[in-house]
């Protein structure tokens, strides 16, 4: 009974209201006042991307929210096995694991020949529809100058069906199958098929539709950008032409509240760090994605209640440009905010800022001192570090070796459970479709489809990652996720050993998930936690020493 009470205390403290804590979040996946979602009428919306050459790729969406602005510039988006118990019922999402990773225990109907089979089947369906519309001897001339604006792409437009006949097919087509077929055709350099399928997709997707329609809208933009070899230009333009600081913060706030992904990271890491540091008088935390610093308010409040008095806490915050923009200033804002909060709890506190990306970090930037217990936090950030497949510097492994040389008591890692780092285009494309299908489904249950704030949040906080993974290659592709099995290999090669997460961590996260839809799942395996949506693993939390 005493043990149970002890666990319950630890499990509940990290998401009880803590005075003056605002639910700001890190960029990427993230929440919403109860009255944010609202029902409204609908009107047309236009989502566009623009390259440096002022070429526009425009996607007409069928419905949107009343008052939702029609976008026609890049500023519209801010481009910041054993079977699992994750039930396969009720979701279009499934795990893509073309390499059959032993670490991946989630169902995988989206692999290898089955995908090709689905795509070939769709092509067969298209041929049958063509015959039914035009007859078996049909050989329709190209009358579709509507897929691409450049001369090269005009030659690649549909060779067999005209635009009106393609539109007639749409009610008989499955959107996910069309998206898969289009990706495969692009992979195979079948530009005639790509042109026709992209025209069909324009008529099927919508930023205010069902989850697959919303995902399809951003996938289509990624495909267009890849065709024009302008993925990096679009990505850079969207990063440069972000919404105002207050707007971006509000979009992050929406996703932070309606989805548990960032709270999963905060809660699991905080419980681990608190356990490890329970008797330490001096604690130094290095956070490689400090953002607004909200995570550490919860930990400060918890440590303030420690028997015998709180420890002295020093935090080194490492920044990125999107977080800087979202909060409207430098890390001094975070330092002041945390200092004032710690003072209100009578916790001795010091803040040190390292305003640079993880790739630039060197030993001298971290200001490690003797006599302090060190914890290092990697929340959804290591996948942005280029590895050996991108650069000979291999910052991904370099950072791990650097951190290991500091002899930390614990290192916490939270990452998206996805395999897009070194995968070739088509495998990466399938994985992106699968992962973000689940994500859009999880957002869908929390907010009306025509809610304009939800639309903006997806466009500014999620779509840029999708475009980057589909359109960009080499150093321009910064979204490079790996499965936990690969992270485990990297950490162990750097000299770390696993620090199994305790039952207190599991209880804390389960308690957190009570606030969200019942389709979220939690699995504990090999000392790590997997957060999932129905049958798809979405994120993992692990600890190392």
What is the average pLDDT across 335-351?
A: 98
CA 140 to mean position of chain CA atoms: 43
305 and 382 fall within a common domain: yes
C-alpha distances (whole Å) from 201 to each of 182, 388, 471 are 9, 36, 17
Check: CB of residue 489 under 8 Å from CB of residue 400.
no
More confident site: 181 or 323: 181
Name the percent of the chain lying above pLDDT 90: 56
Q: Do residues 505 and 485 share a domain?
A: yes
Residue 146 within any structural domain of the chain: no
Domain co-membership, 163 together with 231: yes
Cα 236 to Cα 248: distance, rounded to the nearest angstrom = 17
Residues 6+ apart with CB under 8 A from 248: 78, 242, 322, 325, 326, 460
d(CA 454, CA 204): 20
What is the C-alpha separation between 228 and 230, in angstroms, rounded?
A: 5
Per-residue confidence (pLDDT) for residue 170, from 0 to 100 = 85
Give the total residue count for the chain: 545
Q: Is residue 82 part of a domain?
A: no
Query: Quick one: pLDDT at residue 171?
Result: 87
Same domain, 408 and 512: yes
Query: Does residue 318 sit within a domain?
Result: yes
| Same domain for 193 and 178 | yes
CB 409 within 8 A of CB 59: no
What pLDDT is recorded for position 20? 43
**SS3 annotation, 195-260:** HHHHHHHHHHCCCCCCHHHHHHHHHHHHHHHHHCCCHHHHHHHHHHCCCCHHHHHHHHHHHHHHCC
| Residues 287 and 381 occupy one common structural domain | yes
Average pLDDT in the chain: 76
Residue 514, in any domain of the structure = yes
What are the residues facing 47 on neighbouring strands?
A: 59
443, 462, 477 - which closes a domain: 477
Q: How confident is the model at residue 172 (pLDDT cuts 50, 70, 90)?
A: confident
Number of folded domains that form the chain: 2
Query: Is the pLDDT at 53 greater than 60, yes or no?
Result: no
| Model confidence band, residue 79 (pLDDT cutoffs 50, 70, 90) | very low
Residue 164 covered by a domain:
yes
**Contact of 399 with 483, CB cutoff 8 Å:** no
Whether 228 and 345 map to the same domain: the answer is no
pTM score of the predicted model: 0.74
Given a cut of 80, is residue 37 above it in pLDDT? no
Tell me: the pLDDT tens digits for 372-428? Answer: 999 999 999 999 999 999 988 999 999 999 999 999 999 999 999 999 999 999 999
Tens of pLDDT along 207-245?
A: 999 999 999 999 999 999 998 875 556 555 554 456 787
In a domain, 190, yes or no: yes
Residue 93 lies in a domain: no
- Verify that 281 and 354 share a domain, yes or no: yes
Residue numbers of the domain that contains 182: 159-239+431-477
- Whether 150 is in a domain gets the answer no
pLDDT score for 271: 98
Do residue 333 and residue 269 come from a single domain?
yes
| The predicted structure's pLDDT at residue 250 | 87
Residue range 438-487, pLDDT digits in tens = 999 999 999 998 899 899 999 988 999 999 999 999 999 999 999 999 99
500, with CB counted inside 10 A (0-12, 13-18, 19+), is exposed
- Do 334 and 441 lie in a common domain? no
**Domain co-membership, 391 together with 523:** yes
CATH code of 487's domain: 3.40.50.150
Asked if 395 and 280 sit in the same domain, the reply is yes
CA distances from 82 to 85, 87, 108 (A): 9, 13, 11
């Amino acid at each position: 009974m005493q043990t149970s009470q002890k666990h319950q205390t630890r499990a509940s403290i990290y998401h009880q209201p803590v005075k003056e804590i605002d639910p700001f979040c890190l960029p990427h996946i993230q929440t919403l006042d109860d009255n944010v979602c609202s029902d409204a009428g609908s009107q047309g919306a236009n989502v566009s991307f623009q390259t440096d050459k002022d070429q526009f790729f425009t996607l007409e969406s069928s419905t949107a929210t009343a008052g939702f602005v029609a976008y026609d510039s890049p500023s519209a988006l801010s481009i910041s096995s054993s079977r699992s118990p994750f039930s396969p019922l009720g979701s279009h999402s499934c795990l893509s694991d073309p390499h059959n990773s032993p670490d991946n225990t989630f169902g995988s109907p989206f692999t290898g020949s089955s995908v090709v089979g689905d795509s070939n089947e769709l092509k067969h369906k298209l041929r049958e529809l063509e015959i039914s519309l035009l007859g078996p001897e049909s050989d329709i001339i190209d009358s579709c100058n509507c897929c691409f604006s450049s001369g090269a792409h005009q030659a690649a437009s549909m060779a067999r069906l005209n635009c009106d006949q393609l539109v007639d097919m749409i009610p008989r087509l499955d959107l996910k199958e069309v998206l898969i077929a289009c990706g495969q055709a692009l992979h195979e350099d079948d530009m005639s098929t790509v042109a026709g399928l992209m025209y069909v997709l324009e008529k099927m997707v919508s930023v205010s539709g069902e989850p697959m329609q919303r995902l399809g809208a951003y996938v289509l933009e990624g495909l267009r950008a890849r065709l024009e070899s302008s993925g990096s230009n679009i990505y850079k333009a969207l990063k440069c032409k972000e919404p105002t600081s207050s707007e971006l913060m509000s979009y992050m706030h929406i996703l932070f509240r309606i989805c548990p992904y960032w709270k999963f990271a905060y809660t699991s890491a905080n419980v681990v760090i608190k356990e490890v540091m329970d008797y330490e008088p001096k604690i130094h935390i290095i956070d490689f994605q400090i953002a607004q610093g909200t995570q550490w308010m919860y930990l400060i409040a918890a440590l303030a209640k420690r028997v015998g008095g709180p420890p002295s806490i020093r935090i080194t915050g490492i920044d990125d440009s999107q977080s800087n923009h979202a909060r409207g200033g430098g890390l001094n804002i975070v330092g002041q905010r945390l200092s004032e909060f710690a003072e209100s709890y009578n916790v001795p506190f010091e803040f040190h800022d390292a305003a640079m990306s993880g790739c630039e970090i060197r030993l001298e930037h971290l200001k490690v001192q003797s006599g302090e217990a060190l914890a290092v936090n990697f929340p959804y950030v290591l996948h942005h570090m280029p590895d050996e497949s991108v650069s000979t510097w291999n910052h991904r492994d370099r950072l791990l070796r650097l951190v290991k040389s500091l002899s930390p008591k614990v290192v916490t890692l939270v990452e998206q459970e996805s395999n897009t780092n070194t995968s070739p285009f088509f495998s990466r494309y399938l994985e992106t479709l699968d992962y973000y299908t689940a994500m859009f489904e999880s957002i869908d249950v929390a907010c009306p489809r025509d809610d304009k704030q939800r639309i903006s949040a997806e466009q500014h906080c999620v779509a840029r990652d999708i475009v980057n993974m589909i359109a960009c290659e080499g150093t321009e592709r910064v979204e490079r996720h790996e499965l936990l099995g690969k992270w485990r290999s990297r950490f162990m090669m750097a000299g770390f050993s696993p620090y199994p997460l305790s039952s207190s961590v599991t209880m804390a996260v389960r308690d957190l998930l009570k606030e969200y839809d019942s389709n979220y799942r939690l699995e504990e395996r090999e000392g790590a936690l997997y957060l999932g949506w129905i049958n798809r693993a979405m994120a993992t939390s692990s600890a190392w020493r």
